[in-house]
Chains A and B, each alone.
Chain A
Amino acid sequence: MTDLTLSPMDQPALSAPRPYWGWVAVRLFRPLLVRLCAAYLAVLVLIALLVPLIANGQPYTCVVPATAGHAAVREYPLFRDLGTVSWILLVVAAALGAQGVVISLSHRLPKAQRMMRRRVGAVVITGITIIAGSLIAALHHNRLDAVNYRSLARHGLITHAVFPPVPWGYAEMEPLSKGLINQYPSHRHWLGTDGDGRDELSRLLWGARIAMGVGFVSQIIALAMGIVVGALTGYFGGIFDIILMRLVEMVESIPTFFLILTFVAVYGRHILDIMVIIGVTGWTGYARLLRAEFFRIRNLDYVLAAQGAGMPLWRVLFKHMLPNGVTPVLVSAGFGLAGAVTIEASLSYLGVGVQPPTASWGSMLNSAGNPATVFRWWQALGPGMLIFITVLAFNLFAESLRDAIDPTTMGRR
């Protein structure tokens, strides 16, 4: 209990002086559990971005053998049939990778040069990503390829086929006549099949895309709204505060899940709708936190100095005040991510979430059977465990972040 009372000043300095966020990162990633959580979440994000390359019924490549009058042709069915969203997410994944390369290449440079490199790299990569993404969105057309490549490969109609590790798409059904629905795990379907004869493992992997997508997009929307409202109310106070806080109270006063249900029931169940709805019902906590922080910060000397130097308002607000007030909001966003994943799964479980045949962990839980009569536990185990571990990882991460930025625990090694 003694280390509670030690101020950070009394602590022996680390090897080199670090900026605040360096401090936080070092303290955050010290426990093994947090590193495990971060690794798990990183893998999940990667799966969400790359899932069409991991679980898909079409081969990466195959050769259509020569017939009379036709030479042999090499085909790339998987890449030819990737949807617009998948292409854009692949570009995003490539951009993230490029960002990582830039950071690791500039690691040993002196500080000024390093910051320069990274900043230019970030701008260039973001620009290329945005341009490429909008080009894809504008020009690419989705195709529907209903050819069963597995049976073609089995009958020798295509050769040299290279299938993804999980050779099933999320909506591919086994024919009913084969009696392959509701199968236990087997070598054909590693985690069994569901009531429509679809591969459980493939649907689990595709479900990661929905969960991560809803989680991150909804929380980015919520953060943006919360930060703007919180910053304005906290900075200006007065009449501004009174009016905007009524808005916060309005959204807060209805139970969140009821509000979301009403919105979802009324305005469609498209995945984008659900992201936006979870976002616009979940920003009030962030606004409150940031408002409280800004009340504290706005009279500090450096803010007065920034104002006195004639900086524009947005620069004072978002460049000087925000970085010093944003940490509790970030902690809360970690819990918010977990909450958004839960809400999406619950909505899909109730049948008002994403529409079939889109794979969502919640709807997979639901299709594990009516629990009171037929309950196929092995179908519920996969999605249940994944929701559990994902939500736990986000919560643990957020809690560790809170401990890492908490000055009262600074002394603990």
Chain B
Amino acid sequence: MTTYIIRRLLLMIPTLLGMTFMLFAVVRFAPGLTTGGGQFSAGIMQSRQAQKQEQQIMERRLHLVDKNGHPINLVMQYILWLKSTCEGHLGTSIVYQEPVLTLIEQRLPVTLTINAIAMAVIYLVSLPGGLITALNQGRLIDRGYGFFSLALYSLPVIWLGSTLLGFFANPQYFNWFPSAGLHSTNTGNMTYFRYIADYLYHIVLPIVCSVYGGFAFLSKQIRGSILENLQQDYVRTARAKGLPESTVLVRHVFRNSLLNLITLTGMSLPGLLGGSVIIEQIFSINGMGRLAYTSTLSRDLPVIQDLALVGSVLTLLSYLAVDICYHLADPRVIYD
């Protein structure tokens, strides 16, 4: 097992190198990069001299030119970036003028809380959903649930999100929910429970939008694995020794079906941290997705590169974690 983990970790290195270089090349080959602007220029007219100076500082910081102002080629730029990243220096945003790490620290809890709640809701609906449809295979409830969840899965979030917002958070129709953000303006003089309630009130619509599409996939997977497990010999044994059907289902079939959930949960971990660009954009939530979106639009190179790096490291690690957990949960699964 240890050798397996080490091998997997070693294989991660070329993937990460290739990925970061690919993204690096894509972003840096592009015309019209944000290398100037930003720093002091918000609303203030700068002298040409100051602009030029700022441009030079920025170019040097992004390793576009060396100390003497000569341009550096792409591969060298990449190596310099890699060197500073390996030394633990993530970049500094051009637009926000803050280290990327600080930005991530600010945004990550926002996204993480919303997605964790959404995830919990999805599991709470899909687990019983999958169980019930599997036990009624082929009947009306199975087909109905399958069709309904597939329809929800197909419902575009850009339509549902904007329609919910347009009807339920709009003085024009029903002004029931807040239209943007996560907190009211007067959070300072709230009690703790009022604060939580206020937060929950704000995330109702975003949660609805991030939840409804997830039922189909998860219930389908659970249904499939329950059906598969129902065919197994140990179920027949359990029934033959006279266990009540509920015990067979819950203790034997359902528990074994949960093994597949490890994979599904692990695969959805990166998405949990990454956040949804569209939902965060529609509901004006300053989370990771919106950070990614605004920084790609403003071509904030350091943010794009570091977000991609962090994102892909997390993705690869969670894939590895899935395989290890699978082995721990089910010792029959062995990797060579």
Contact = CB atoms under 8 A, between A and B. Distances in A.
B19 A383 contact: no
Interface stretch (A96-104, A171-179, A252-260, A308-316): A252-260
SS of A interface (majority): helix
Interface string B304-316: 1001100110011
B150 A375 contact: no
B293 A262 contact: no
A266 interface: yes
A262 B304 contact: yes
Interface in A221-251: 242, 246-247, 249-251
A391 B15 contact: no
Nearest to A252: B315
Contact of A262 (B16, B162, B296): B296
Interface stretch (A20-28, A45-53, A59-67, A343-351): A343-351
Given A267-B30, A372-B180, A254 B308 contact: yes
Given A246-B11, A255-B274, A265 B299 contact: yes
B189 interface: no
B277 interface: yes
Given A349-B278, A396-B150, 19 more contacts: A1-B137, A4-B231, A249-B316, A253-B16, A254-B311, A261-B293, A262-B296, A265-B297, A345-B158, A350-B278, A362-B158, A365-B158, A368-B162, A371-B170, A372-B179, A375-B167, A375-B170, A391-B156, A395-B154
B119 interface: no
B14 interface: yes
B166 A253 contact: no
Interface string B147-165: 1001101111111111101
Given A253-B19, A350-B293, A388 B159 contact: yes
A247 B18 contact: yes
Interface string A377-390: 10010011001100
Contact of B316 (A253, A259, A350, A371): A253
Contacts of A250: 15, 18-19, 22
Contacts of B281: 350
Nearest to A258: B292
23 contacts: A249-B19, A254-B308, A255-B271, A258-B311, A259-B308, A261-B293, A262-B26, A262-B27, A265-B297, A265-B299, A349-B158, A349-B278, A371-B165, A371-B170, A371-B179, A371-B282, A375-B167, A375-B173, A377-B167, A387-B159, A391-B154, A391-B156, A396-B150
A395 B155 CA distance: 11
Contacts of B137: 1
A256 to B, nearest CB: 10
Interface string A248-285: 01111111011101110111000000000000000000
Contacts of B258: none
B231 to A, nearest CB: 7
B318 to A, nearest CB: 10
Interface in B225-249: 227, 230-231
Contacts of B169: 371-372
Interface in A367-413: 368-369, 371-375, 377, 380, 383-384, 387-388, 391-392, 395-396, 399, 412
A338 interface: yes
B163 A380 contact: yes
B191 interface: no
Given A247-B18, A265-B297, A375 B162 contact: yes
A296 to B, nearest CB: 18
Interface in A316-371: 338, 342, 345-346, 349-350, 352, 362, 365-366, 368-369, 371
A258 B297 contact: no
Residue in A253, A266, A342, A366 with the greatest tally of chain B CB atoms within 10 Å:
A253
A412 B62 CA distance: 63
B129 interface: no
B163 A377 contact: yes
Nearest to A383: B159
Contact of B154 (A257, A338, A375): A338
A59 B15 CA distance: 57
Contacts of A369: 166
Contacts of A266: 26-27, 30, 296, 299
B15 A352 contact: no
